[in-house]
A and B are shown apart, each in its own frame.
Chain A
């Protein structure tokens, strides 16, 4: 089994003291895999990513990255540790050019290192190179998502957290984005993804974690879950009990 690079141990977190979203959640993500978080709306999928990336501080429990406790670390510190986060929706700054959007991803780098890192990203995404001097708002949805991921990769993260990368994209572009994430994982980057487009995402993932009411309801290999007749119910909530138990 691959190393557990991300661990949640009985984590309780939420957006206010009266609004608890994660209820003693325990889960892990393994190095070099795509771990897919699925579940009904309000199950806490995006909250997992926000807690992991320091936007929310757990009220109790422990969040660990590569075995080290990271509760309370800021997003800036976590970027330095090797985590990167692509939030839900359109994440570019439309008033800026593609080049300037990309450069912002390296704002925490020493100035001298930025050109080399940009070149690395541009080699991976030739389409971004072609559009460097255009306004970011003129790019297509797929190009924008490429740029968002490329920007996150500037810091060479070991873990990429990505929230609903398929939102607003056509099926062909969704496939391209998923292939990109698969290639990243095959290259050694751990991907923790929240995705509503479950069937497509499962095809590209290694594991699926089903959340219900802020708790882990099911932990299964993605390929197994893809064939599960209860998949739709799992996604809508309440179907975990009918599904086969998680493998050890």
Chain B
């Protein structure tokens, strides 16, 4: 696809997201905002796992660290724009530390090492009541006012999150198309080959974790401000699994994969559950079972994710 067509397509989608929100119920705008927030985290995970090939099941922990930093600092009247870099930097540094096991182990071993980190972070969030409020959590987290504009309303916060998502997506797009981004792909495809070209495997492995973690930390800031109350539940390792599922369902290692995957994982169950279409009424009860079956079928038929559909059809249509 040419760059011009790509930009035109993106502009159409963004315009649709801006306009459609005007006609949606408050709860639907909330869901859309939740999609954008999770997308920030899954785009980071796509860099770590999809492009760099470092299997991580700890993304929800970084998401939580960002959220708790936001909760504490925003309640202490820090400006939102000052909280963002703090959360990003803290998660970046923790991401480097969590990335160290990746220098020794790979694949499912690495997945379990990062899962262990998520469990530890979750326990800390639940038990360190003096800081995190334990299972009671932290409430009354404010939404931001930026340059005199109150972003407390559901539509205003949606537009603010969407704009931020575009900026973050733009930065990741630039990174992935730079030589550094291609080095991540080289690292995923074959570390020995990559090293023979002079790619610093240690630095790129740690960077892949750190950048992915920073994205999740940023997402956590937007999450805390969106829900205005946080407790450890949303940062359980099951959320990390859900994030990884979103990356894989959409198309791991494809830039727009997480956007589609996160929509499937966050929006589809809610759409099915809340559907008022007569022939979809049974979904109000069966939506989770349908969702589970749909994911199984998708993974069997399209292991490369939804964005690999065209390649799959091309292969089928081509000479055998």
Contacts and interface: CB of A to CB of B under 8 A. Distances in A.
Contacts of B195: 55, 75-76
Interface in A42-86: 53, 55, 75-76, 79-80, 85-86
B190 interface: yes
B192 interface: yes
Interface in B101-137: none
A104 B189 contact: no
Contact of A55 (B183, B192, B198): B192
Contacts of A87: 192-193, 196
B200 interface: yes
Contacts of A100: 182
A132 B196 CA distance: 22
Contacts of B190: 91, 93
Contacts of B185: 93, 95-96
Interface in B222-265: 253
Contacts of B183: 104, 107
Interface residues of B, number: 17
B22 interface: no
B198 A108 contact: yes
Nearest to A78: B198
Nearest to B199: A107
B186 interface: yes
Given A94-B189, A95-B253, A104 B196 contact: no
A75 B197 CA distance: 8
B179 interface: yes
27 contacts: A76-B198, A79-B197, A79-B198, A80-B198, A85-B196, A86-B196, A87-B192, A87-B193, A87-B196, A91-B196, A93-B186, A93-B189, A93-B190, A94-B189, A95-B253, A96-B185, A96-B186, A100-B182, A103-B179, A103-B182, A104-B186, A104-B194, A107-B179, A107-B198, A107-B199, A108-B197, A155-B198
